[in-house]
Amino acid sequence: MKIRFYNAKIMTAENDCSISTGELCTCDDIISYVGNERNTDEKYDREIDCQGNLLIPGFKNAHTHSGMTFLRSYADDLPLREWLFDCVFPREDKLTPDDIYSLTKLAILEYLTSGITSCFDMYFYADSIASAAVDMGFRMVLCGSVSGASSNVKRLQDEYDKFNNYNKLISYQLGFHAEYTAELELMKEISLLSQSLKAPVYTHNSETENEVKECIERYGKTPTALFEELGMLEYGGGGFHCVYFDDNDMEIFRRRNLWAVTNPGSNTKLASGIAPICIMQKKGINLAIGTDGPASNNCLDMFREMFLVTGLQKLLTKDASACTADSVLKMAVSGGAQAMRLNDCDCLKIGKKADIVMINLNRPNMQPINNISKNLVYSGSKENIKLTMINGKILYENGDFHIGESVENIYMKANKIAERLR
Amino acid sequence: MKIRFYNAKIMTAENDCSISTGELCTCDDIISYVGNERNTDEKYDREIDCQGNLLIPGFKNAHTHSGMTFLRSYADDLPLREWLFDCVFPREDKLTPDDIYSLTKLAILEYLTSGITSCFDMYFYADSIASAAVDMGFRMVLCGSVSGASSNVKRLQDEYDKFNNYNKLISYQLGFHAEYTAELELMKEISLLSQSLKAPVYTHNSETENEVKECIERYGKTPTALFEELGMLEYGGGGFHCVYFDDNDMEIFRRRNLWAVTNPGSNTKLASGIAPICIMQKKGINLAIGTDGPASNNCLDMFREMFLVTGLQKLLTKDASACTADSVLKMAVSGGAQAMRLNDCDCLKIGKKADIVMINLNRPNMQPINNISKNLVYSGSKENIKLTMINGKILYENGDFHIGESVENIYMKANKIAERLR
């Protein structure tokens, strides 16, 4: 399948957020050309007149729990502990693999509407998540989610082997839920596994003040310092949330080239706090953005997240110049790709994967065109996603989904599950 | 023109955010029926199958400067004073009435995409704003924007008389820019005018910490206390922003039944701070929501504002249960209408104005349907606006505008102005 996008503005995001005009062509799952418009006799299966609209690499959602869609708007406006222990955990216990398959599909639909072309998904039933992604054509990086006893490391290794040899849309990274849900022996085993595989490790890290406080009570050090001491960080990886970081945590992240994945929508809605993104930027720490799950956010929308990343920094630092639009775009696009080890999905360049989004600039919120990066970060919304292509296939275009199944069917199944678990 | 919406979910917002199923009919500019579906022989010009989607009263944008669209994404990521004095003011000086007419039209397009059916607009050249609104069919409440010397009160009175007898889509309320741009004599004259007209007065109030500090240095009291002392608040009115309020300010607002109009997007992006909405709610102060202008926000999107209203309160109070979704919806719908004295636009009821929005629930971000109010506030976006009707006319439907002019023409003019003033 060969597709040509012509009459386009293009933000390759290879080095910066600069924009050129021209055309982009794909051949199967790969970008075969990016550059000036050409006169060519080459035949394409489809030629798309972009009408001056903008092509960008897809957004990367570097932390989420897709299957939590069933809890959207079920348990909001509640204190955090009540939300988690009275509403979330008891219902999660009743989830089946089939549920996760259907609920993940609903999340993927929403990712497509927001120009998100890949996710770093941490949830139960990896088989179900992988099947949902493959069946819809979505690129998914599974993140290990083990917790509890050291024996669970076996599952981590099995899943790592299985899902890194599963399908070209699927990959897997070592991960565990969090320090506060893992026994010390499990974390030691994960460190050994990481070293034997030379593989990075990811986990929730310092999301709340209490989490850090309790870790210090248990181990005399912060989660990050504990992971470092256990030898878990030698091959990279990252932390989700990273709200309560001290200087030493940041120094470890910088030295180990780890990724801090920020989730401002979730941290806002759950009243967790504001991550020190500006300080991390100054220290040169790698940054990416995640929506977190739909129970805590509640939407899966990279536009909202991008505005919040910079907006909350402006509030936190009392400086309207904090955290520029270009720096936020970089986190949402190439940052996320690198955090998830999707090294072929970080920019629009010949040979890279065809994970491409077309932004509709011909909408009121994108006019006038003083500065396109700033339009995207400060006034962009889902209404601007005109087309989402993943691995060379157009899965979403002009509001319609091309995912081999009716959306009504996906909605119906999600509602049935939500009703059953209510 | 008689229109029937059937097979609908309906949130009348008359008393609360409860939802029923049924139909709603309009006759010219008025709602002629809301209730259960009927078997009737009545003939309609159009019958719309809502397919189970939701009808709500239009959102009310209770504070904006529509004409500032030309500055969108022009001067972001700058400290506040540099932004205002080096970028905004010098360019505003060059604006013509024709510019404001075109730039206001661009803003109105965006309001329609966000389900906003009326605005409280404070900007230069009231004639241009009113013409743009009337020509597009948009409901606009003009807010006086005088500043400087006492002689300017004449313009306020003239505009009040003119625009309250202009067109059924237009009304006008007394207002002035702010304490820090008005001479004391002007504020005294405005107070007298308010008393003679028995009319409310609106102004920017306590947006930044410095504004309040400098007012106290000048007058020995806060802006609110000053206005009260001048007798300006006897017939109601309100303040825009209200970020830095002390107990006495709040007590005055409560006692005088004034409206605090919060603008969280702008307060975030300009690093101004977080208004104490939860405290105001507990004190029973009237609340409404505004986007502020597109230079400071930068988008004109009630969904973003609603999420920020509650989200920032959760962060500020460190309480995830702060500021419920229903209370935010009330601010955005009936609160705004009452703040702007649009007493016929506050809810869906027989005899009220036909300012109606259809929300597309058949989108991934609205599924599953656990709770529709929460879906709207926590995961709603512009993509959910299926139809916007103002004064009985459908101005926006399925992404297309019906405003008697091509959108391309409006975009083209706005870009020309932006280029000229760059």
The mean pLDDT of A101-128, rounded to a whole number, is 98
Assess if residue A36 is contained within a domain: yes
| Residue A71 DSSP symbol | G
pLDDT category of residue A422 using cuts at 50, 70 and 90? confident
Query: B231 CA to chain A: closest CA distance, Å?
Result: 34
Given a cut of 90, whether residue B81 has pLDDT beyond it is no
pTM of the model: 0.98
Assess if residue B65 is contained within a domain: yes
- Looking at beta carbons, which residues of chain A come within 8 Å of B271? 314-315, 317-320, 322
Of A288, A314, A339, which residue is a domain's last?
A339
- Looking at beta carbons, which residues of chain A come within 8 Å of B70? 368
Cβ separation B320–A370 shorter than 8 A? no
Q: Are residues A137 and A193 in the same domain?
A: yes
Q: Are residues B239 and B350 in the same domain?
A: no
Assess if residue A6 is contained within a domain: yes
- Kindly report, residue by residue over A368-391, the tens digit of the pLDDT: 999 999 999 999 999 999 999 999
Assess if residue A9 is contained within a domain: yes
Given a cut of 90, whether residue A410 has pLDDT beyond it is yes
Of A314, A339, A364, which residue is a domain's last?
A339
The mean pLDDT of A358-362, rounded to a whole number, is 98
pLDDT computed for residue B83 by the predictor: 79
Counting one residue from chain A and one from chain B, the pairs whose CB atoms sit within 8 A come to 235
Query: A169 CA to chain B: closest CA distance, Å?
Result: 22
Assess if residue A410 is contained within a domain: no
Residue-range definition of the domain harbouring residue B48:
2-56+345-401
Q: Are residues A175 and A29 in the same domain?
A: no
- Kindly report, residue by residue over A313-349, the tens digit of the pLDDT: 999 999 999 999 999 999 999 999 999 999 999 999 9
Cβ separation B381–A299 shorter than 8 A? yes
Cβ separation B77–A374 shorter than 8 A? yes
Of A291, A311, A339, which residue is a domain's last?
A339
Cβ separation B315–A363 shorter than 8 A? no
Q: Are residues B74 and B161 in the same domain?
A: yes
Q: Are residues B77 and B208 in the same domain?
A: yes
Q: Which of A72, A323, A380 sits opposite B379 (nearest CB)?
A: A72
Asked casually if ipTM beats, i.e. exceeds, 0.95, the reply is yes
Mean of all residue pLDDT scores within chain A: 96
Cα A376 from Cα A330, distance rounded (Å): 12
Q: Are residues B256 and B274 in the same domain?
A: yes
Q: How many domains does chain B have?
A: 2
Q: Evaluate whether A309 touches A328 at the Cβ level (below 8 Å).
A: yes
Instruction: Give me the CATH number covering residue A323.
Output: 3.20.20.140
Tell me what percent of the residues of chain B surpass a pLDDT of 70.
100
Q: Are residues B224 and B181 in the same domain?
A: yes
Q: Are residues A42 and A175 in the same domain?
A: no
pLDDT computed for residue B365 by the predictor: 98
- Of A175, A188, A172, which is closest to residue A227 (Cα–Cα)? A188
Q: Are residues A159 and A228 in the same domain?
A: yes
Given a cut of 90, whether residue A312 has pLDDT beyond it is yes
Given a cut of 90, whether residue B87 has pLDDT beyond it is no
The mean pLDDT of A36-49, rounded to a whole number, is 93
The counts of H helices and E strands in chain B are: 16, 17
- CA max distance for chain A: 69
Residue A129: which residues within 8 A CB-CB, separation 6 or more? A66, A67, A100, A101, A104, A121, A123, A140, A142
Assess if residue B418 is contained within a domain: no
Q: Are residues A395 and A263 in the same domain?
A: no
- Kindly report, residue by residue over B10-58, the tens digit of the pLDDT: 999 999 999 999 999 999 999 999 999 998 889 999 999 999 999 999 9
Helix (H) or strand (E) holding A148: none
Instruction: Give me the CATH number covering residue A388.
Output: 2.30.40.10
Interface check for A413 against chain B (CB to CB < 8 A): the answer is no
B264 vs B87, higher pLDDT: B264
Assess if residue B406 is contained within a domain: no
Distances (CA, A) of A115 to A40, B85, B108: 30, 37, 26
Mean of all residue pLDDT scores within chain B: 96
Cα A88 from Cα A92, distance rounded (Å): 6
Q: Are residues B52 and B63 in the same domain?
A: no
Backbone angles phi, psi at A324, to 5 degrees: -70, 160
Tell me what percent of the residues of chain B surpass a pLDDT of 90.
95
- Looking at beta carbons, which residues of chain B come within 8 Å of A322? 77, 271
Assess if residue A151 is contained within a domain: yes
Q: Are residues A28 and A116 in the same domain?
A: no
Nearest CA in chain A to B305: A304
